[in-house]
Amino acid sequence: MNPQIQNQECMLKESIKHFLTSYHCGSSDFSSFESIFFRLIQTMLDPPLEITWFYSAVTFHAAKLSPQNSPPTGPLIAKDLMNLLVSCSNLSSASKKIALLAPVVYELYNIISENRKKGLCVRKEVDKLVEDMVSYVIMSAGVYDYGDRDVESDSVVVCFEDLVRVWTADRGGGQCNFGQNLRVFFPLMTDGTWKGMNARFRLQELVGIVLCEVFFLRLYVSFGSGMCTEDLLKDMQDQMVQIIKGFRNCHFLDMLLKLLLEPSLPVAASLSSEDAFLLRKVLNDAVMLVDYSFYSGRWNQSSDSHSKQLALVWVLVADRAIQFARATNDQARASSYLDAFCESQLVSELIHWASTQAGAVEQNTRPDICTPKALIKWLLVLEEQGIRVFDHSMSQLRAKAEKCLSRADSEPPELKLLGENLNQDIFLYNKNDANTDQEMGDPSINGFPDAFCLMNKKIDASRKRKEALSGLHESRIKQVKRDIFGGSLGEKFQSISSDNGLHCVSEVKNITGDDDMELIG
């Protein structure tokens, strides 16, 4: 290891140790840490993520504890934190720019949650911050194949566990185990996210997690106002599609799909039962009714099994989405999802790959598969014949596939909760119908009261799918590009340098509009 890097890591570890001791002893004076690490960052064109995180965490805690900021203004501190992290990563890779934002999501989520519990509203300020962050992430992700070609994307984040303790120190982080701290620092992820992960986080994994958190934070803000109209839901679906396309990251999409297989979605517990139901509906439409070409066609470009895993997860999500639509008696949507499954390039590539593998064992013809369940069954049969469909890293995925075939899935929690709250059986869930791959069921009750703004008419499946995609027209795409690259936000992300070519953190312009606002520290 480079001696200079080794010295920096030793310095960081000692500093974290002393900071946590000082913080838990009640100290609020962290000026020595701020001074040392500010000077260190000034000597670097591209400071390591770990150094930047520790410096920004120290200034963040100092600002919250400062008597001059009593009571501290949550949105203002979050804004300054974001500005500081952006300024310190001006020459960083796209992956690092995105990963650095994890503390901003953490703080914004806590601000929103705490204010909602108190019945307060900070909607305008927080909405602006969330929108700016999404735009900044999409702009950073505009680098072609950034998730695959960043030199440092596969690097391990040093002292990750201890840095999480530093960030969560004001919420008991120093006294909790690593798993508990992860749940605090990444509040928008579910427990299932951490299975198979350890303290040796790679940058590419961190990027996928941060992208998921930004995605769900945007949804959390949007779904916090009660019942939505069908038009608003349609607009929200279009926005989610544009964000997924803009992020252009396979690790993000893989994590997003896996979250859709969890018993409950992130933020669902913080929403009303009606909004939680609508959230599931919007996400199902966003991931099912659009064929994300960027994420397919990569089988020959990848040296690992990531593309195959992405396709397998999508197939499981497709089955879950179809069953969800059937359970709510939305036969038009279920038909649209089946159409999307049959037309998906991911599915076509998966079947081609599996057929090729099977041909090496025996001359099998390509199967005629038209439902997710039939494809899952065929893949499991191939697995029993000795073909490695699910490799050693996909044991959890295989378990979900077997569970899908056994129909051990419980009723979608959003439906159960909504039915309980309304005190009536408004949703159709025919168990015999659920076990049938080809038939769509015979609806016998109205599963979509007008109050829920849900579909209850038999609409032609192909027309329905076209309607679902109608909002994705060229003018919207041009508007998004203009907002990101040509608007006020683009003007604010300018190079920050002093006369000697080094970064000057204090000179960065405010990302959210207040040009005369200086950064923390």
Q: What local confidence, expressed as pLDDT, does residue 361 receive?
A: 46
Domain of 353, in residue numbers: 226-473
How far is 483 from 254, CA to CA, in rounded Å? 28
What DSSP character marks residue 409?
A: P
Q: What local confidence, expressed as pLDDT, does residue 234 receive?
A: 82
Directed axis angle between helix 102-117 and helix 123-140, to 10°?
Answer: 160
Tokens standing for 373?
């369940």
**Which ranges of 268-392 would DSSP assign to H, the alpha helix?**
273-288, 306-327, 331-343, 345-359, 372-384
Does 101 reside within a domain?
A: no
Does 150 reside within a domain?
A: no
At residue 328, the 3 state secondary structure works out as coil
Does 382 reside within a domain?
A: yes
How far is 357 from 381, CA to CA, in rounded Å? 13
Closest CA to 57 of 132, 130, 163, 131: 163
Backbone torsions φ then ψ of 259, nearest 5 degrees: -65, -30
Local mean pLDDT, 10-residue blocks, the chain (521 residues): 80 94 89 93 93 95 77 79 94 93 95 81 82 94 69 80 92 76 90 71 90 94 67 83 90 91 86 85 92 62 66 93 92 94 88 79 62 92 86 79 70 56 37 40 32 33 41 39 37 34 35 38 34
At residue 208, the 3 state secondary structure works out as helix
Q: What local confidence, expressed as pLDDT, does residue 485 receive?
A: 37
Question: What residues have CB less than 8 Å from 293, skipping those under 6 apart?
Answer: 345
Query: Which residues face 393 on adjacent strands?
Result: none
How far is 397 from 192, CA to CA, in rounded Å? 12
Tokens standing for 384?
């029993």
CA 73 remoteness from chain centre: 27
Q: What local confidence, expressed as pLDDT, does residue 510 receive?
A: 40
How many residues does the structure list for the chain? 521
How far is 446 from 208, CA to CA, in rounded Å? 40
Do 256 and 215 meet the contact criterion of CB atoms below 8 Å apart?
yes
66: alpha, beta or left? (left if phi > 0; alpha if psi -120 to 50):
beta
At residue 347, the 3 state secondary structure works out as helix
Does 91 reside within a domain?
A: no
What DSSP character marks residue 485?
A: I
Closest CA to 105 of 205, 179, 211: 211
Q: What local confidence, expressed as pLDDT, does residue 318 receive?
A: 95
Does 149 reside within a domain?
A: no
How far is 105 from 216, CA to CA, in rounded Å? 10
Question: How many other CB atoms sit within 10 Å of the CB of residue 121?
Answer: 12
Question: What residues have CB less than 8 Å from 247, skipping those under 6 apart?
Answer: 137, 138, 141, 211, 215, 253
Tokens standing for 116?
């909602």
Query: Which residues face 156 on adjacent strands?
Result: 202
Backbone torsions φ then ψ of 168, nearest 5 degrees: -95, 15
Q: Kindly tell me the sign of the dihedral angle through the C-alpha atoms of 239, 244, 247, 251.
A: positive
Q: Give the whole-number percent of the chain exceeding pLDDT 70.
A: 68
How far is 509 from 516, CA to CA, in rounded Å? 8
- Cα dist from 154 to 205, 213, 313, whole Å: 9, 20, 22
**Single-letter amino acid code for the residue at 162:** D
> Peptide bond preceding 71: is omega within 30 degrees of 0, i.e. cis?
yes
Half-sphere exposure of 330 (CA within 13 A, CB side): 22
Q: What local confidence, expressed as pLDDT, does residue 321 receive?
A: 94
Question: What residues have CB less than 8 Å from 19, skipping those under 6 apart?
Answer: 30, 33, 54, 58, 166
- Cα dist from 83 to 88, 132, 227, 431, 494, whole Å: 9, 11, 34, 53, 12
- Cα dist from 518 to 65, 83, 97, 184, 513, whole Å: 18, 9, 21, 29, 12
Question: How many other CB atoms sit within 10 Å of the CB of residue 143?
Answer: 15
CA 127 remoteness from chain centre: 17
Number of domains into which the chain is organized: 1
Tokens standing for 311?
């396709």
Tokens standing for 112?
């929103």
Q: What local confidence, expressed as pLDDT, does residue 233 receive?
A: 79
What DSSP character marks residue 26?
A: T
Chain position carrying tokens 């000026």 = 31
Query: Which residues face 202 on adjacent strands?
Result: 156
- Cα dist from 248 to 137, 243, 296, 506, whole Å: 10, 9, 11, 32
Does 79 reside within a domain?
A: no
How far is 356 from 366, CA to CA, in rounded Å? 9
Tens digits of per-residue pLDDT, 383-410? 888 888 887 678 788 888 888 887 645 4
Does 292 reside within a domain?
A: yes
Tokens standing for 51?
């150094």
Q: What local confidence, expressed as pLDDT, does residue 355 receive?
A: 84
Do 26 and 171 meet the contact criterion of CB atoms below 8 Å apart?
no
Does 55 reside within a domain?
A: no
Q: What local confidence, expressed as pLDDT, does residue 69 receive?
A: 57
